[in-house]
Amino acid sequence: MSILEGLLWLTLNVYHEARSEPEIGQVAVVNVTLNRALERKLTIKDVVTQPYQFSWTFQKKSYLPDDPKAFFNCMKSVYVALQNNDVTTGATYYHLDTVKPYWASQYTYVNQFGSHMFYKR
């Protein structure tokens, strides 16, 4: 996989998972995606498209962004994440603060960024 393809999948993931979040929330989603890729030794695309890992990949009919301004904003957040330390300190999971998934109690809570709560093993 090329670097550009990885950047595209990172940006798509942030766009579909957190485009309405503040930059720190978007950066945290980038960090989780990268952490999963490293932990699982997979490409960014493979991590993002794994079944039932990121809800947008099985809920959306199209991966294409329909808000160019938001897409470029997400691209900026990817750049910021790549230029800085991991704000999640190794988190590999997150969920909206309005839900309580069954798996959350199995992981260590890290922090909340925007409306997402972040966890690690």
pLDDT at 1: 61
Q: How far apart are CA 36 and CA 113, in angstroms?
A: 18
For residues 71 and 11, the answer to whether their CB atoms sit within 8 Å is yes
User: For the segment 42-100, what is each residue's pLDDT rounded down to a tens digit?
Assistant: 999 999 999 989 988 988 777 889 999 999 999 999 999 999 999 999 999 999 999 99
For residue 61, the model assigns a pLDDT of 75
Q: What global pTM score does this model have?
A: 0.95
- In this structure, which long-range contacts are made by residues 71-76, counting pairs with CB atoms below 8 Å and at least 24 apart in sequence? 71/11, 71/15, 71/19, 73/19, 73/26, 74/11, 74/14, 74/15, 74/18, 74/19, 74/26, 75/7, 75/11, 76/23
- Lookup result for tokens 């199995």: 106
Q: What pLDDT, in 10s, does the model give residues 13-43?
A: 999 999 999 999 999 999 999 999 999 999 9
Q: How do the domains of the chain map onto residue ranges?
A: 3-120
In the sheet with 108-113, reading across from the earlier edge strand, the strands are: 93-96, 116-120, 108-113
Separation of alpha carbons 9 and 27, rounded Å: 14
